C-alpha cells in the first residue's frame, strides 16, 4: 500500500488463490498450467494523486481492473482555481471541474465510485 502527500492510498487487491510472480500476475493451477489474470487495483482518493495513479496504472496495464473510491462527488477539479472561486472572481464552481466521473471512466476505462467513504 502506498500513501501520497494528499492522502490517497493505492493498494493491490487479489484473491488468496492467485500467485503474484515477477511483474506479471499469474495463477498457478493444479494442472501445471499458468493463466494470466488481470490485476485489480483499488485507489482510495480520487482527486489529484488518485487520478494520477489511476492514469499511470492504465498506461502500464491496459487489462487491469482499476477501482477508484472517492468520498466526495468530484474526482477532478482545478485546485489552482480555488482562490479565484473563494475571492469571487470565478462565480460558478462548475468552471473548476476538469472532468466528470463519467468522462474519466469512459476515457481511461476506470470503475469510479463517488460518495464512498472507506
Place of cell 494523486: 49
Name, in order, each residue with C-beta under 8 angstroms of 34's C-beta and a sequence gap of 6 or more. 26, 27, 28
User: Which is nearest to 76 in space by CA: 55, 59, 51, 56?
Assistant: 51
- Tell me the pairing of strands 2-3 and 9-13: antiparallel
Q: Which is the catalytic residue, given 80, 92, 94, 117? A: 80
SS3 labels along 79-104? HHHHHHHHHCCCCCHHHHEEECHHHH
Q: Is 10 a catalytic residue?
A: no
Q: Kindly list the catalytic residues.
A: 80
Amino acid at each position: 500500500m502506498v500513501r501520497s502527500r494528499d492522502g490517497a492510498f493505492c493498494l493491490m487487491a487479489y484473491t488468496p488463490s492467485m500467485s503474484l510472480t515477477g511483474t506479471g500476475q499469474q495463477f498457478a493451477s493444479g494442472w501445471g498450467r499458468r493463466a494470466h489474470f488481470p490485476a485489480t487495483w483499488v485507489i482510495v482518493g480520487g482527486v489529484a494523486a488518485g487520478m494520477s495513479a489511476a492514469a499511470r496504472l492504465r498506461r502500464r496495464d491496459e487489462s487491469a481492473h482499476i477501482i477508484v473510491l472517492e468520498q466526495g462527488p468530484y474526482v477532478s477539479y482545478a485546485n489552482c482555481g480555488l482562490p479565484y472561486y473563494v475571492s469571487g472572481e470565478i462565480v460558478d464552481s462548475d468552471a473548476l471541474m476538469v472532468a466528470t466521473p463519467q468522462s474519466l471512466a469512459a476515457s481511461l476505462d476506470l470503475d469510479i465510485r463517488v460518495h464512498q467513504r472507506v
